[in-house]
Amino acid sequence: TDVKKIAVIAGDGIGPEVVAEAEKVLKKAEELYGYSFETEHALFGGIAIDEKGTPLPEETLAICKSADAVLLGAVGGPKWDNNSKELRPETGLLGIRKALGLFSNLRPAVVFDCLKEASTLKPEVLEGTDLMVVRELTGGIYFGEKLRRQGEHGEEAVDTCVYNVTEIERITRQAFEIAQKRRKKLASVDKANVLETSRLWRETVNRIAPDYPDVELEHVLVDNCAMQLLRRPSSFDVIVTENMFGDILSDEAAMLTGSIGMLASASMGDSTDAGSFGLYEPVHGSAPDIAGQGLANPIATILSVALMFRLTFNYAEAADAIEAAVAKVLDEGHRTADIAVDKSKALSTSQMGDLIVAAM
Amino acid sequence: TDVKKIAVIAGDGIGPEVVAEAEKVLKKAEELYGYSFETEHALFGGIAIDEKGTPLPEETLAICKSADAVLLGAVGGPKWDNNSKELRPETGLLGIRKALGLFSNLRPAVVFDCLKEASTLKPEVLEGTDLMVVRELTGGIYFGEKLRRQGEHGEEAVDTCVYNVTEIERITRQAFEIAQKRRKKLASVDKANVLETSRLWRETVNRIAPDYPDVELEHVLVDNCAMQLLRRPSSFDVIVTENMFGDILSDEAAMLTGSIGMLASASMGDSTDAGSFGLYEPVHGSAPDIAGQGLANPIATILSVALMFRLTFNYAEAADAIEAAVAKVLDEGHRTADIAVDKSKALSTSQMGDLIVAAM
Ligand SMILES: CC(C)[C@H](C(=O)O)[C@@H](O)C(=O)O
Ligand SMILES: CC(C)[C@H](C(=O)O)[C@@H](O)C(=O)O
């Protein structure tokens, strides 16, 4: 049989707990569909700092590079927040994205009907919201030169935001292609009235747009987009934007669905076609406040496995089964604490995982 | 009598219409309280490009500099969107902020009880929301060096984000002082896990925080803030942040109140003490789609006059009267189209202005 290699990076906080449930799902998929997975665990983030003195050990990178896909839990926590830059979990995250060439971060924001009440938005506003933020992940102000220096007015700090046409073109072409497979609407978000990188971004998008005549394109300024996401979330289909804006807007979009504990994400390289390498992780963070207590919601990580099946392995049948199992368990009223109305009836992380596995 | 000089910059789109109503309010305040205002109109933005070939004519700047305060309508529109940088209305806006030393942008986001239904957020979430975004306005990526060049991977663009301690200290001290006069809570927003400017920002805030022991300080990452504004808007009091983050977050905050047509803002220099020079403008934009039709809501501009009275002129009595008049007119059910449930009964811009003047 065709053995698929999956690098598993549990990370920090609730990472190990939610990843354990996702691994149960992998095992169940092997039983049901005859797949064969070889998982290899690797240290990453805070735990790697503690045990190896660096957030991204060489050996972890090697394991990821030799794998077909990476499953990531979450990284970071207050323990490492005051470390110097090289000894911070986030530095590992930026490093792995760059080292694996994962320039495209896909963050769907969908509303789970049975969880609509969890959103702070009015249900009628949320109705039909199903959008995807395509965030550029290896460029911009995240990766440009940074420095400290003495200036005329005391110490000063500098961050540099750089984009070249090649970087802009590859991410926006992916976004157009994704839009073609969805509702055929693309909003390109920039701050072209102020930033030079945004002007190059907009020019590039306009230059390639004629190659996708079936996609309706709009340019939205980032400040306006932050407003429109609140005013008319359901009118968006695909949003493409640069790294920093994508960080902010994808979190806003995820939160407005009320489903942030449920959202999966994929970070991809040159292609989002079936068979492409990808790193899959929940949108939520490491939630150090509830770590180790069996309270975390494993659904976002389990749905990250479904996304991996769909995008990297082309296992559509199993992906459908996972998503249907999640929907069924939720429809039956099962909830973890984060999404429970009556917290006293909330399930533990592993109870939720087991129910989903049983429903597959 | 003490004559106060006000530079009036009506600008583009709905700017002239809403400013005309604000001027009626100035006149009424003269009658009622014996004040004396000398208003001088100046060209700015798109109309200045058309008539003078530059968005910020020397003579406009001179008028503003010799005034005690500036009242601004709105600038910009599609007509000038494809102009080169020097011939864009936004360039005038950045130029006037810099030239007048207006480094502090105060953007209150409050909920008008009678307009709660206009928000897309659930009323119970919005309950008690009353926050102020203090945005740094003359530094950061807006004003750093920008360039285009040929690189290894084709054309590339660069924006530079620079902050020095002096700039950070003066804006955050203002924010602490504003918090002291409010609910004594300050959220400082940055991206210290990625940006060097944010690390300097956070260090500086922590260094000066002991001078304000009565203010409760929290550091919030920008992506998390975009989420928390949606999840718990009423828990914020004062938010202080750098220019680009402030642009995005203040618009998100304004929109979530459902009152964006009603929000005033102030841009200040060295001091927010009574008597300080300031530029006052509505938070909303130039709305070119409804310009010239008498449909615009003049309330945000009228409330900008109240803010000017309070912050620059120390005319608290008149400021209170304006705010009470607005509240009364709204309580009586009068609405312009943007906030009307039954649009067929909506008032025109000047009808709304006249009602507020009559209620003063
Ligand atoms: C932890 C941080 C560096 C990271 C980012 O800003 O990219 C996170 O917020 C994310 O969105 O994955
Ligand atoms: C028009 C634009 C340059 C401006 C800004 O980004 O500062 C506007 O969005 C604002 O917030 O006043």
Q: How far off is chain B from A329, nearest CA to CA, in Å?
A: 26
Q: What Å distances lie between residue A65 and A44, A94, A267, B306, CA to CA?
A: 14, 16, 14, 62
Q: Where are chain B's structural domains?
A: 1-100+277-360, 106-264
Is domain B106-264 annotated with CATH 3.40.718.10? yes
* B134, β-bridge pairs: B106, B240
Q: What is the mean pLDDT of chain B?
A: 95
Question: Which residues of chain B neighbour A90 with C-beta distances below 8 Å?
Answer: 193-194
Could you read off the pLDDT of A288-347 as tens digits, one per residue? 999 999 999 999 999 999 999 999 999 999 999 999 999 999 999 999 998 888 889 999
Residue A343: burial class (beta carbons within 10 Å; 0-12, 13-18, 19+): exposed
Question: Between vectors from CA B297 to CA B296 and to CA B298, what angle results, nearest 5°?
Answer: 110
What's the pLDDT score for residue B220? 97
Beta bridge partners of B160: A160
Which amino acids of B are annotated as binding site for NAD(+), given as ranges? 77-90, 285-297
Backbone phi and psi for residue B91, each to the nearest 5 degrees, phi listed first: -65, -35
Pairing of strands A278-282, A264-268: antiparallel
Kindly report, residue by residue over B150-166, the tens digit of the pLDDT.
999 999 999 999 999 99
Which residues of chain A, if any, have pLDDT below 50? none
Between CA A201 and CA B212 the distance in angstroms is: 43
Nearest alpha carbon to residue B248 among B229, B268, B272: B229
Tell me: pLDDT of B1 over 90. Answer: no
Q: How many CB pairs under 8 A join A and B?
A: 174
Residues of chain B with Cβ-Cβ distance to A158 below 8 Å are: 144, 160-162, 196-197
Spatial distance between the Cα atoms of B90 and B99, rounded to a whole number of angstroms: 14
CATH 1.20.1740.10 fits A103-270, yes or no: no
| Three state DSSP letters for A258-274 | CCHHHCEEEEECCCCCC
| Structure token pair of residue A215 | 């996609």
**What distances in angstroms separate CA B118 from CA A183, A352, A357, B153, B156, one per listed residue?**
28, 38, 43, 48, 43
Q: Which of B171, B203, B223, B257 to mutate to test the interface with A (most CBs of A within 10 A)?
A: B223
The two structure tokens encoding residue B239: 């938010």
Identify the pLDDT of residue B258.
Answer: 87
Work out whether the CA dihedral B163, B169, B171, B172 comes out positive or negative: positive
What CATH number does domain A1-100+277-360 carry, 3.40.50.300, 3.55.40.10, 3.40.50.720, 3.40.718.10? 3.40.718.10
Residue A270: per-residue pLDDT: 80
Burial B264-303 (b: 16+ CB within 10 A, else e): bbbbbbeebeeebbbbbbbbbbbbbebbeebbbbbbbbbb
pLDDT > 90? residue B113? no
- B223 and A161 in contact by Cβ < 8 A? no
Tell me, what's the pLDDT at A1? Answer: 65
Q: Helix count (H) and strand count (E) of chain B?
A: 12, 12
For B192-202, write each residue's pLDDT tens digit.
Answer: 999 999 999 99
pLDDT confidence of residue B261: 87
What is d(CA B16, CA A356) in angstroms, rounded to the nearest whole number?
60
Inter-helix orientation angle B222-231/A243-256, to 10°: 20
| CB distance A195 to B141 below 8 Å | yes
Domains B1-100+277-360 and B106-264 equal at CATH topology level: yes
Question: What would the two tokens of residue B245 be?
Answer: 């983050």
**Ligand 1 midpoint to CA A255 (Å):** 15
Partner-chain contact B223 A247, CB within 8 Å: yes
pLDDT in tens, B81-90: 889 989 999 9
Three-class SS state of B71: strand
CA distance A2 to chain B (A): 38
What is the token pair recorded at A213? 């005549």
**What pLDDT is stored for residue B213 in this prediction?**
98
pLDDT at position B256 is: 92
Beta-carbon neighbour count of residue B224 at 10 Å? 17
pLDDT at residue A274, rounded to an integer:
66
Residue ranges around ligand 2 (CB below 6 Å): A 193-194, 223; B 90, 93, 247
Residue B273 has pLDDT above 80, yes or no: no
Nearest to B192 by CA among A90, A252, A156, A154: A90
* pLDDT over threshold 90, residue B141: yes
Nearest alpha carbon to residue B271 among B61, B102, B66: B102
Which residues in chain B belong to E strands, given as ranges? 3-11, 36-41, 69-74, 104-110, 130-136, 146-151, 154-164, 185-190, 216-221, 238-241, 264-268, 278-282
Contact A141 B144 (CB under 8 A): no
Q: Which residues of B does the annotation mark as catalytic?
A: 142, 191, 223, 247, 251
pLDDT digits (tens, 9 = 90+) for A176-198: 999 999 999 999 999 999 999 99
Binding-site residue set of B for Mg(2+) = 223, 247, 251
